[in-house]
Amino acid sequence: MLEKLLEWDRDIFVYLNNLGVERYDGFWAIVTNIITWIPLYVLFLGLLFLKFPKKEALQKFFVLLGMVVFVTGITHLTKLWVARLRPNNSEEINGLIRILKSPSDYSFFSGHASFSFSVAILMILFLKKEIRWAMFFLLWPLLFALSRIFVGVHFPLDILVGALVGIFSGFLAYWFYRRFIAPGSRSTRP
């Protein structure tokens, strides 16, 4: 059963990766770079400090930071434990795919997906009452995670599991904030 699932995952990856067009390679290379998204991170921090009193904004920032450390740690440990080769490092398929990036670490699960989905979910939960368009934050992780297929470094299953871990982590961090930090906060907001 697991072998069949991995075979499907590999076949779907090869198909999707080959949908890429050389003309858009530069776009995907930019999208997949974490540095590209710095303005978005600055926007997130700015919104926290614009929409909430300083103490509350700082508390939310530290919960966000703690969640990022947690997600990064669990992603790294899982990659070491599972030790699944990235598509670009797999001799079985690397001749069949378009490779724009060549990281040498392991593939399962996608750190880009887990990181971006966790941050987006937590920011949506923090800001949903303050900003009606907060759901648009989900465009970032969708594009960011999808880019990993087009640059040749993650299988769809890596991205799906990374996204689920990220979503769960975002909700977990929000629950932690509401359960342990918000009750002790003396915010003047209703």
Domain boundaries defined on the chain: 2-181
Please name which of 15, 34, 2, 3 lies closest in space to residue 155, comparing C-alpha atoms.
15
- The b/e string for 125-158 (b: 16+ C-beta within 10 A; e otherwise) is bbbeeebeebeebbebbeebbbbbbbbbbbbbbb
Structure letter (DSSP) for residue 91:
T
Is residue 185 scored above 90 in pLDDT? no
Averaged over 169-173, what is the pLDDT?
98
pLDDT at 89: 87
Is residue 86 scored above 60 in pLDDT? yes
Higher pLDDT, 95 or 138: 138
pLDDT at 186: 56
Angstrom distance (rounded) from CA 162 to CA 164 = 5
C-alpha to C-alpha distances, 90 to 101, 102, 130, nearest whole angstrom? 14, 11, 46
Averaged over 153-180, what is the pLDDT?
97
Which structure tokens are listed for 24?
Answer: 């858009």
% the chain with pLDDT above 70? 97
Averaged over 14-25, what is the pLDDT?
90
20 — pLDDT class (breaks 50, 70, 90): confident
Is residue 187 scored above 70 in pLDDT? no
pLDDT, mean over the chain? 93
Question: Over the stretch 49-80, which tens digit does the pLDDT of each residue have?
Answer: 999 999 999 999 999 999 999 999 999 999 99
pTM of the model: 0.92
190 — pLDDT class (breaks 50, 70, 90): very low
The answer to whether the CB of 189 falls within 8 A of the CB of 52 is yes
